[in-house]
Amino acid sequence: MQSKENKEDSGLSPNFLLEQELINNGKYLIAGTDEVGRGSWAGPVTAATVILDPKEIPLGIDDSKRISKFKRQLLSEAIISCAKHYSIIHIGSEEIDKLNILQASMLAMHKSIIALEIDPDHVLIDGNRVPENCNFSTTAVVKGDSLSLSIAAASIIAKVARDQLMTDLARHYPQYGWETNVGYGTKAHMDGIVKYGITQHHRVSFKPIHKML
């Protein structure tokens, strides 16, 4: 496993340079992996892995946190349509409480990699570590979603999938404002917990939730 760290606080859009370097070295199927939802009080942590087609990369891909909800939705559809392969994995609150959020995030990313229809030649993973027992050639890329198009693409489809799941859950649990806060710790969410208690989707191991029990 290699690790690449961005030495600058880059405001630049992600590019395909890391992928192209690997392709030039004979690794043709390059996957990008990222997770979302790590800091949420409720709902899953969600990971996605994407193998982009170098000849058909949608325009406008960026770190999912830097683009609007509407643009994320459009890009997610384009990425899924154009990608060679992709996968999305959710790890729910029960597993998060059992493992801890770091291990659950690593598990989600690992599962999303092995869920691909074919094995990648190399995986670029957002962050400073890779999942344990990952049997693929990997590189951990700090701030990878702002550097690598493959990682940024994974961040977009993971966020869109998780946001949609939380919106669906909000129809069953309308007291917490999940359709807008997607499980994060807003005042509306906190007020809902104080008034109605928690659900099976809340992460009881998280300190803010645990304090309110």
State the pLDDT at residue 133. 87
| Domain membership flag for residue 112 | yes
pLDDT reading at 8 higher than 60: no
| Domain membership flag for residue 72 | yes
Tell me the whole-structure pTM to 2 decimals. 0.93
Interval 143-170: pLDDT, tens: 999 999 999 999 999 999 999 999 999 9
| Helix 69-82 with 149-172: angle, nearest 10 deg | 120
Boundaries of domain holding 184: 13-212
| Domain membership flag for residue 2 | no
| Domain membership flag for residue 4 | no
Tokens for 108? 């989600």
- Report how far residue 209's alpha carbon sits from residue 176's, in angstroms, rounded to the nearest whole number: 13
- What is the arithmetic mean of pLDDT over 135-145? 96
Residues 6 or more apart whose CB falls under 8 angstroms from that of 93 comprise 42, 43, 44, 200, 201, 202, 203, 204
| Domain membership flag for residue 5 | no
Interval 46-97: pLDDT, tens: 999 999 999 999 999 999 999 999 999 999 999 999 999 999 999 999 999 9
| Domain membership flag for residue 84 | yes
Domains of the chain: total? 1
Q: Report the length, in residues, of the chain.
A: 213
State the pLDDT at residue 11. 62
Residue with tokens 């803010």: 208
| Domain membership flag for residue 171 | yes
Query: What is the pLDDT of the chain when averaged over all its residues?
Result: 94
Return the CATH number at 108.
3.30.420.10
| Domain membership flag for residue 106 | yes
49 and 154 Cβ atoms separated by less than 8 Å? yes
